[in-house]
């Protein structure tokens, strides 16, 4: 006989009403997960108050102190006690919970923070004197006079002192401080017209400035570009493409980096919905799909994207932390991101990131310094140098190549005119402003791959019928999920249909893949559908085969090329989108500016 259920008291259970302090502590577990959550709520309140400058200070990773000061509209002394009441807010009137235009709207942040820490709010509204209120353990004190300019200062000390068990789950001060910086960076990207200062005051005094951004000016794209240059660095700004696309009431704006400016982890992906930073599987999956054909699986794109729409088309009230959203038409949102990014990448043509050139220049170091340098002006003239005649014999001179006028014309083109081939693999081309080094095999591989893809899009994916359909047994839920995308799979040459109960029958497979394990492919597709809401597995397999075909059908390393062949390759690269990177996201060429080369030789 099994043991009695330990959750059931032998006595009749009594239903009790929890007191406000317990309710607030429970709610705080949803809203305030860690110090960074508290910073997020307080900074969002400052932004909702119309602040133009916000200063954030933290101590010991936010565990001992969090202080947020802003120059917003402030709170009057009469409203301070109400601001600490649960579900009290000035941001909505409760009539339409979908018509949300502010960061906050639930009225939970301040009472939750007061329930788990020592909270002090000092504020001054226009036309009012400054007032202050303190909250300890969920109990608010009286409103008192204070000294403060217009705006609000919220100070939170000893976070989770009222719930010490939560402190055991905090990470190191360094990790919590990094989480705070990440939150502030995202909010700073969301509001480029607002200035931010982030300080670490763990050692006392004014502390160390960890982030400083001045308010940006100009139109939306100019302001955002300036803010991203400040936060993500000059290299991202130089290698990012402006995105502006719209579809069915949704608009996508922001910046996305070239494939050759990729990262080893998804640490440079910032997504916003109606200005709110979010972490949403639908959106990150769409971003991954947009770069799917340009990056290997171990590389990740970098982007800062803003999706805006009528608030009624998206539900932001999914979770208390408000980091998840739900679209009324998720397919439209996903399709906009994929098509908008792919269009921008196609318009970039053969462009590759400048970081490739910078890395090349960094690898080119002058010889170790020896005797003092002697420059040309300090030497004897060639005419008076007796050894000059010996090293300038006629046999050492180059004759003008046929078609030199045409080559000079080619120099004005983006990838210039071919001048030489070295190691039977690298084409050296001269441009008006410098030189280009092209990996002939990688470049031609991309060109062939793009041709094969165009042919597949025009003619479809050929399918081969199986003599005996392969029956795959699945769970009821998996079978239903797989059949929902049956039409998409059919366009890629994989034909499936119900086979009674929870089984499916695989009747056709993509001919280009040859003999495959259909059951294993179905399992992989289902894993992706469960994890990311979509599957790119079959498309990846097909495109991997096309990539291999392109590799074997392209110009091999070690083959000597004629000048006409090299120039034809350069012209085709200029005319083919995405030719700046190979099938795995690596660059196909490096461009070096003449001024940078001259600097290496001390000629500047």
pTM over the 0.85 mark: no
Q: How far apart are CA 274 and CA 254, in angstroms?
A: 12
pLDDT the model gives residue 354:
58
Q: Is 201 exposed, middle or buried (0-12, 13-18, 19+ CB in 10 A)?
A: middle
What digits encode the pLDDT tens for the residues 261-310? 888 888 899 999 998 898 888 888 889 888 877 777 778 899 999 999 98
Among 84-98, 205-219, 376-390, the least confident range? 376-390
Domain harbouring 81, CATH code: 3.30.565.10
Q: How far apart are CA 470 and CA 87, in angstroms?
A: 57
139 & 252 share domain: no
Domain boundary residue, one of 190, 213, 236: 213
pLDDT the model gives residue 406:
54
Q: Which two tokens stand for residue 571?
A: 């012209």
Domain boundary residue, one of 321, 347, 373: 347
Residue 132 lies in a domain: yes
- Residue 64: phi, psi to the nearest 5? -95, -30
Q: Is 564 exposed, middle or buried (0-12, 13-18, 19+ CB in 10 A)?
A: exposed
Domain harbouring 262, CATH code: 3.30.230.10
In this prediction, residues 394-418 reach a mean pLDDT of: 60
pLDDT the model gives residue 224:
95
Domain harbouring 467, CATH code: 3.30.1540.20
Residue 155 lies in a domain: yes
Q: How far apart are CA 462 and CA 175, in angstroms?
A: 52
140 & 110 share domain: yes
pLDDT the model gives residue 197:
96
38 & 100 share domain: yes
Q: Which residues pair with 240 in a beta bridge?
A: 257
Cβ(226)–Cβ(192) below 8 Å? yes
User: Does 390 score more than 80 pLDDT?
Assistant: no
Give the highest mean pLDDT range of 23-27, 81-85, 236-240, 491-495. Answer: 236-240
pLDDT category, 206, cuts 50, 70, 90?
Answer: confident
147 & 269 share domain: no
491 & 582 share domain: yes
CA angle 64, 68, 74 (to 5 degrees): 140
Q: Is 96 helix (H, G, I), strand (E, B) or coil?
A: coil
User: Does 26 score more than 70 pLDDT?
Assistant: no
User: Does 498 score more than 80 pLDDT?
Assistant: yes
pLDDT the model gives residue 181:
95
pLDDT the model gives residue 351:
66
335 & 361 share domain: no
In this prediction, residues 461-470 reach a mean pLDDT of: 85
Identify the residue whose tokens are 């009225």.
Answer: 107
pLDDT the model gives residue 191:
94
Number of domains in the chain: 3
209 & 252 share domain: no
Cβ(307)–Cβ(272) below 8 Å? yes
Q: Which two tokens stand for residue 394?
A: 């006629």
235 & 271 share domain: yes
Domain boundary residue, one of 160, 179, 213: 213
Residue 374 lies in a domain: no
Residue 8 lies in a domain: no
Among 47-56, 243-252, 257-266, the least confident range? 257-266
224 & 174 share domain: no
Cβ(271)–Cβ(280) below 8 Å? yes
- HSE (CB half, 13 Å, CA atoms) of 169? 10
pLDDT the model gives residue 538:
64
Cβ(311)–Cβ(263) below 8 Å? no
Residue 395 lies in a domain: no
Cβ(315)–Cβ(265) below 8 Å? no
In this prediction, residues 228-236 reach a mean pLDDT of: 91
Residues spanned by the domain of 318: 220-347
66 & 127 share domain: yes
> What letter does residue 442 receive in the DSSP assignment?
H
93 & 133 share domain: yes
Residue 189 lies in a domain: yes
What digits encode the pLDDT tens for the residues 54-94? 999 999 999 999 999 999 989 888 888 888 877 666 655 55
341 & 357 share domain: no
Residue 299 lies in a domain: yes
- HSE (CB half, 13 Å, CA atoms) of 244? 4
H or E element at residue 524 = helix 518-532
User: Does 462 score more than 60 pLDDT?
Assistant: yes
Q: How far apart are CA 504 and CA 496, in angstroms?
A: 6
Residue 12 lies in a domain: no
User: Does 424 score more than 80 pLDDT?
Assistant: yes
pLDDT category, 97, cuts 50, 70, 90?
Answer: low
Q: Is 148 helix (H, G, I), strand (E, B) or coil?
A: coil
When comparing pLDDT for 359 and 573, which is higher? 573
Residues 6+ positions from 476 with CB-CB distance below 8 Å:
502
pLDDT the model gives residue 391:
36
């Amino acid at each position: 006989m099994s043991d009695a259920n330990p959750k059931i008291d032998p006595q009749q259970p009594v239903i009790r009403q929890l007191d406000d302090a317990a309710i607030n502590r429970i709610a705080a577990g949803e809203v305030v997960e860690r110090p960074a959550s508290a910073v997020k709520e307080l900074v969002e309140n400052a932004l909702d108050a119309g602040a133009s400058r916000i200063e954030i200070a933290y101590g010991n990773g936010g565990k001992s102190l969090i202080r947020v000061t802003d120059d917003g509209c402030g709170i009057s002394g009469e409203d301070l006690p109400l601001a600490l009441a649960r579900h009290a807010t000035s941001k909505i009137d409760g009539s339409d919970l979908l018509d949300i235009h502010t960061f906050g709207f639930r009225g939970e942040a301040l009472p939750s923070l007061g329930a788990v820490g020592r909270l002090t709010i000092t504020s001054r509204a226009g036309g009012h004197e400054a007032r202050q209120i303190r909250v300890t353990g969920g109990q608010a004190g009286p409103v008192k006079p204070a000294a403060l300019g217009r705006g609000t200062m919220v100070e939170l000390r000893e976070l989770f002192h009222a719930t010490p068990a939560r402190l055991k789950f905090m990470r190191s001060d360094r990790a919590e401080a990094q989480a705070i910086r990440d939150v502030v960076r995202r909010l700073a990207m969301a509001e480029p017209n607002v200035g931010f200062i982030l300080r670490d005051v763990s050692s006392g005094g004014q502390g160390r400035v960890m982030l400083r951004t001045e308010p940006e000016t100009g139109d939306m794209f100019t302001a955002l570009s300036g803010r991203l240059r400040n936060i993500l660095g000059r290299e991202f700004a130089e290698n990012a493409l402006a995105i502006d696309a719209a579809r069915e009431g949704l608009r996508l704006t922001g910046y996305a980096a070239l494939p050759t400016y990729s990262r080893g982890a998804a640490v440079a992906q910032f997504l916003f919905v109606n200005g709110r930073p979010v972490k949403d599987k639908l959106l990150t999956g769409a971003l991954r799909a947009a770069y799917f054909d340009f990056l290997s699986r171990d590389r990740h794109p970098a982007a800062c994207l803003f999706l805006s729409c009528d608030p009624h088309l998206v539900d932001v009230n999914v979770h208390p932390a408000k980091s998840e959203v739900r679209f009324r038409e998720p397919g439209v949102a996903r399709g906009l991101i994929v098509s908008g990014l792919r269009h921008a990448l196609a318009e970039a043509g053969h462009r590759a990131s400048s970081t490739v050139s910078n890395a090349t220049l960094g690898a080119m170091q002058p010889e170790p310094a020896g005797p003092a340098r002697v420059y040309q002006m300090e030497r004897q003239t060639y005419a008076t140098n007796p050894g000059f005649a010996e090293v300038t014999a006629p046999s050492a001179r180059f004759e003008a190549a046929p078609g030199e006028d045409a080559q000079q014309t080619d120099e004005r083109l983006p990838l210039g005119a071919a001048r030489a081939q070295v190691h039977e693999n690298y084409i050296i081309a001269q441009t008006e402003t410098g030189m280009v080094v092209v990996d002939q095999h990688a470049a031609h591989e991309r060109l062939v791959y793009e041709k094969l893809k165009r042919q597949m899009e025009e003619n479809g994916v050929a399918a081969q019928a199986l003599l005996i359909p392969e029956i795959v047994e699945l769970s009821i839920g998996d079978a239903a999920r797989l059949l929902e995308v049956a039409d998409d799979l059919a366009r890629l040459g994989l034909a499936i249909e119900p086979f009674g109960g929870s089984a499916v029958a695989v009747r056709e497979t993509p001919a280009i893949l040859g003999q495959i394990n259909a059951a294993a492919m179905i399992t992989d597709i289902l894993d992706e559908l469960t994890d990311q809401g979509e599957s790119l597995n079959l498309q990846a397999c097909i495109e991997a085969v096309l990539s291999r075909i392109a590799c074997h059908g392209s110009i091999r390393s070690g083959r000597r090329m004629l000048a006409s062949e090299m120039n034809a390759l350069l012209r085709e690269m200029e005319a083919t989108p995405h030719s700046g990177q190979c099938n795995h996201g690596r660059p196909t060429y490096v461009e070096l500016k003449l001024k940078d080369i001259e600097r290496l030789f001390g000629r500047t």
